[in-house]
Chain A
Amino acid sequence: MSHHLFLLSPSDTPIYSLTHYSSKPAQSTSYPLASNLPTWSTSAFAGTLTALSGASSVTQSHHVPGGGVKMGGGQDRHVVQMIANASLDNIEDVMRRENAMYLKSVDKFNEWTVSAFVTPGNVKFVLLHDQAKNDEGIRAFFHDVWELYVKTMLNPFHTAHTVIRSAAFDARVRASAKKNL
């Protein structure tokens, strides 16, 4: 069971991403996309635009909003990022309707569900996961990530649009993911 987390700045630029392989037992679902990601991996958004052009060949009826996301290599990452981007529209819809921070699941694509969390500063946390009903865990995880994010924001060298490169932040997010997801 794997999860993908993306943090997006108020201007919809990616700040951080994480892929996490949970060790919790999951319902057996068959994945049409064979997930060949290594157990723990993160990508800093330093991919090339050629990957983006390659992604257009994936059959995807959604129009991708939210700006050009540079992607890392790998077929699966493309689709994952496409899904995340495509869900931004849905997130904004739900945001307009509800005032809560934790928007539960905003979108579904094949076996992936997208949950979102919007901070008061309009930073979006997007989590892709499969069907496992883990609402409370996800909520707790989002709150943890939010706290860690706030601490990072207090760093004067950090602006709302800087990519988060801190190893400490990374380690703590992974630990929280392990605990909650």
Chain B
Amino acid sequence: MATPSKQYKAIGEDLWKSRTEKVNAELFALTYGALVVQLIQDYEDYGEVNKQLEKMGYNIGTRLIEDFLARSSVGRCSDFREVGEVVAKVGFKSFLNITPTVTHPPPTSRPTSVQQTSIPTSSFILTLDENPLAEFVELPEEALEGGLWFSNVLCGVLRGALEMVQMQVQAEFLSDVLRGDETTEIRVTLLKYLEEEVPMGDE
């Protein structure tokens, strides 16, 4: 039996190839760049811009997961580790045509949690070696000092998408080549699994 990771790679490749409507990468990068610059002009606070990008990503993610699940035949993931693999090899590949590498740091249990969590906190780190959103970008001084995460929309997408499949996660950037770091890394931490809730007002 082929190892799951090879399977996922193949599925990702197929999905990317079978997608008939693709958009020009330059257009995509320029559009996103214009968006970020406009947000900076509107909000003038880089922390706020980060938040807005994340919110926008969240909205995108909640819808994107439907598209993803409809096209791919990937079933339920058995654990969070597998979630990381699928996100990186199938998800990112089919939408952005990049395959970030996944690393799983050893799970740590949070000692200061409010309620007793029986699941140790799992997380995975995605390392992007190329970022189509930031194709031509060079951050100016003020953005560097203000702490702007240029591609923060990706964190929102991850959060939104995973929330729709009953996982509450926190996604954040650890480093970014635009900021002068060695690599671009996003850490996705599982906060809790969401129980199926009866919508309010139903009987």
Residues in chain A within 8 A of chain B (CB atoms):
151, 154-158, 166, 168
Instruction: Label chain B's interface by main secondary structure.
Output: helix
For B26-60 the 0/1 string (1 means CB < 8 A from A) is 10011001101100000000000000000000000
Whether A157 contacts B34 by the Cβ 8 Å rule is no
List residues of chain A with CB within 8 A of the CB of B136.
151, 154-156
List residues of chain B with CB within 8 A of the CB of A156.
30, 33-34, 36-37, 136-137
Q: Which of A151, A158, A168 has the most CB of B within 10 A?
A: A158
Q: How far is the CB of A158 from chain B (nearest CB, A)?
A: 8
Q: How far is the CB of B153 from chain A (nearest CB, A)?
A: 14
List residues of chain B with CB within 8 A of the CB of A168.
138
For B137-165 the 0/1 string (1 means CB < 8 A from A) is 11110010000000000000000000000
- 17 A-B contacts, Cβ less than 8 Å apart? A151-B136, A154-B26, A154-B29, A154-B30, A154-B135, A154-B136, A155-B136, A155-B137, A156-B30, A156-B33, A156-B37, A156-B137, A157-B33, A157-B37, A157-B138, A157-B143, A158-B138
Whether A157 contacts B140 by the Cβ 8 Å rule is yes
A157 to B137, CA, bound (A): 7
Q: How far is the CB of A105 from chain B (nearest CB, A)?
A: 33
For B162-199 the 0/1 string (1 means CB < 8 A from A) is 00000000000000000000000000000000000000
A151 to B135, CA, bound (A): 10
List residues of chain A with CB within 8 A of the CB of B33.
155-157
Q: Which of A155, A156, A158, A168 has the most CB of B within 10 A?
A: A156
List residues of chain A with CB within 8 A of the CB of B140.
157
Sample of 15 more A-B contacts, CB < 8 Å, known A155-B33, A157-B137, A157-B138: A151-B136, A154-B29, A154-B136, A155-B136, A155-B137, A155-B138, A156-B30, A156-B33, A156-B37, A156-B136, A156-B137, A157-B33, A157-B37, A157-B140, A157-B143
